[in-house]
Structure 1
């Protein structure tokens, strides 16, 4: 089943990085049932991620990382998702943060140097905590209800963050808050061992349960002024290529569903047939439909990532394309998993088979940013503007 990857691995470096991802995927596969059942991220999988020194790969070589390209990132993330989508999505946020901070230089050098050193030496894992119950997704523009109040040389933070992937196992949180004395949104780097930092087990969702995206609760957390690492920049935000880790994740889930559906079809033979169902025409039609959908999705995703890497001067104009990739790939992934379910038939609903988990997990892609409606609106606006010139 590995042939699907051959067109996308171009050289020895990519093969080496891919092999790291494959090792993580194999570990994740062993723990995904328990992670799904308990709605928590497996510490054993995280240990494998750190053993492969994966958290440091996105950092510049000058810091001891490997400065992975966007193409390489999605290649690895998709493979990890083939093992367990929850693992890929969770560690994908960390990888994206490392790429964003490295490329956009949002922090003071000494602040970034400190974090980068810990990521390289100790494989520390971080994630942004931005979503809140009242504000919803930060991409919709809500001001955080989490507050940071200045008290001499310190800030006191209070608030609650939801959808905090890897909440219990992160080494650092990068938390958004309304900074009262500055009258703007800021981001604070918080050690998970800081007094007043707790995780409340609230994650009880249909899919992607293994992300362990519980609530982060901050109660009178006292931080140094130097822990205010970033303030929100007003105006148009830059396109973020690293967000392609999201469609890569759901495409990996679809590939896993495709693989298991073909294996099921090759081996399942009801007593009403003289051959396995893989020889039945309508089953072959579904397999063929899965294939062309995956080919289209892969081509769009990897071509866009390659363009991001090879044409940096065009990045500022790529937001519509990046958003379109997310829309196209996540919807295609959902369609592929649905076809896999149809091949498995009623057995696909049983927890004795992997299909129902793929079906639950892949649906989450439709709710990760950017949302389909905002993408369609953006594409429409662009088309109307270009047509009027």
Structure 2
């Protein structure tokens, strides 16, 4: 497959949007709505062919939406999580695969911006020169970046354990070898943030920044899923890939295993929840129009939408999505206001995924045979919504963590009550 995409060395000949003024959030949202409507007309094609949405990414860049979370002082819009989630959810109503690819790029640049504001070593520390290099390329071309972390044996890093991907120090270089799977946006990426462990006597773990077109990087097309097909989440094989020694972010001791960056995790949880809520909203729009238009002869000119049982089911869908949106908004607002957000994030993500699956299933039930026809978009929305269940952390892990935390709370409360007695 031949696809013309920018690379770290070849940013592409594109008019840079950095010359444009910073835009109000409502203007950016309006642009996202317009693009989402355009993307929706091509979503079926990408679902059928599983081709990368290269043109859509270029259009996001031209609409000035790819610099959304780049810091203002560096030429970006400096968006917080709330605006980012609104834009991602809007895009997802048109094509959730495009929205997922964009969301990963947004999350990475939000992390870079935060690292440069703090300017102190941490789990998410980006060296200034590296941060500036990635930022400048993203301002002048759709130079997408994503973290590639999941491995065949390790699975998702959210379950613990160290990656099998190894970084060896060779003079002034790191040499990376390993195998990553489920790499969202694979064909379209310019940079791969590769989770790896060093082979030092005292191993360290970090994100090693690899230009996708580096010698030794091999893309293997393995992605052939039920839904979200245009995310092109293929495999990458790294065979002794050399990068400069300073091209690593967040390098820390591996003695106690992986440590999670709670700020980056908050972005991930909220944006993936927003994407699948957008999918369910698209399903709700479709089923509402279908029910208004269908006028069976038995109803003597009235539409299916006039039936109380149908109204009840559509009301259930609306309430499911209202709950998801309320939680996702609350989480984003707490995060942006620097209020406690961790538990709310897991809850919002869990509810959003569960409700998206339920909402699309209800819509399918209302549509009957029309809902499972490949001629109708609802069938695609249903398949896409099911894919939300596989995003880490799993629903079972979130529930288990919530249960363990509650047992701790009750044990502490019992102990305090006993002390008072």
The answer to which of 145-154 and 199-208 deviates more is: 145-154
Is the CA contact (8 Å cut-off) linking 1:74 and 1:248 kept in structure 2? yes
Match of 1:141 among 134, 138, 160: 160
Look at both structures and tell me which one has the larger radius of gyration over its CA atoms.
Answer: 2
* Secondary structure class of the residue paired with 2:66: helix
Is residue 406 of structure 2 the alignment partner of residue 383 of structure 1?
yes
* Secondary structure class of the residue paired with 1:163: strand
Deviation at 1:169, TM superposition (A): 0.9
Aligned to 1:212: 232
Is residue 292 of structure 2 the alignment partner of residue 266 of structure 1?
yes
Match of 2:130 among 111, 121, 135: 111
Aligned residue runs from structure 1 range 131-210, under 5 A: 131-181=150-200, 183-210=203-230
Match of 1:242 among 257, 267, 288: 267
- Provide the rounded CA distance (Å) in 1 between the counterparts of 2:198 and 2:56: 36
- Provide the rounded CA distance (Å) in 2 between the counterparts of 1:189 and 1:227: 6
Deviation at 1:236, TM superposition (A): 6.0
Is residue 327 of structure 2 the alignment partner of residue 327 of structure 1?
no
- Provide the rounded CA distance (Å) in 2 between the counterparts of 1:19 and 1:67: 18
- Provide the rounded CA distance (Å) in 1 between the counterparts of 2:237 and 2:55: 25
Match of 2:326 among 271, 289, 299: 299
Is the CA contact (8 Å cut-off) linking 2:327 and 2:344 kept in structure 1? no
* Secondary structure class of the residue paired with 2:186: coil
Is the CA contact (8 Å cut-off) linking 1:207 and 1:361 kept in structure 2? yes
1:300-333 CA-to-partner distances (Å, cap 9, x unmatched) read 11122112212x1x34xx2221101100111111
- Provide the rounded CA distance (Å) in 1 between the counterparts of 2:367 and 2:144: 38
* Secondary structure class of the residue paired with 1:21: helix
Aligned to 1:228: 248
Is the CA contact (8 Å cut-off) linking 2:58 and 2:142 kept in structure 1? no
1:220-276 CA-to-partner distances (Å, cap 9, x unmatched) read 212221222332466564243212001000000010000000000011223443222
* Secondary structure class of the residue paired with 2:224: coil
Match of 2:32 among 3, 16, 21: 21
- Provide the rounded CA distance (Å) in 2 between the counterparts of 1:36 and 1:231: 38
Is the CA contact (8 Å cut-off) linking 2:284 and 2:363 kept in structure 1? yes
Match of 1:47 among 47, 58, 62: 58
Is the CA contact (8 Å cut-off) linking 1:100 and 1:242 kept in structure 2? no
- Provide the rounded CA distance (Å) in 2 between the counterparts of 1:15 and 1:281: 37
Is the CA contact (8 Å cut-off) linking 1:254 and 1:358 kept in structure 2? yes
Is the CA contact (8 Å cut-off) linking 2:165 and 2:195 kept in structure 1? yes
Is residue 69 of structure 2 the alignment partner of residue 58 of structure 1?
yes
1:6-26 CA-to-partner distances (Å, cap 9, x unmatched) read xxxxxx933212112213312
Match of 1:70 among 68, 71, 81: 81
- Provide the rounded CA distance (Å) in 1 between the counterparts of 2:392 and 2:180: 17
Give the superposed CA RMSD: 1.7
Match of 2:392 among 361, 369, 378: 369
Deviation at 1:73, TM superposition (A): 0.8
Aligned to 1:3: none
The answer to which of 180-189 and 201-210 deviates more is: 180-189
Query: Structure 2: which 5+ residue stretches go unaligned?
Result: 1-22, 117-124, 414-421
1:86-105 CA-to-partner distances (Å, cap 9, x unmatched) read 11112111111111222245
* Secondary structure class of the residue paired with 1:351: coil
Is residue 100 of structure 2 the alignment partner of residue 89 of structure 1?
yes
Aligned to 2:311: 284
| TM-score of the two chains, using structure 1 as the length reference | 0.91
Is the CA contact (8 Å cut-off) linking 2:331 and 2:344 kept in structure 1? yes
* Secondary structure class of the residue paired with 2:374: coil
| TM-score of the two chains, using structure 2 as the length reference | 0.85
Aligned to 1:336: 359
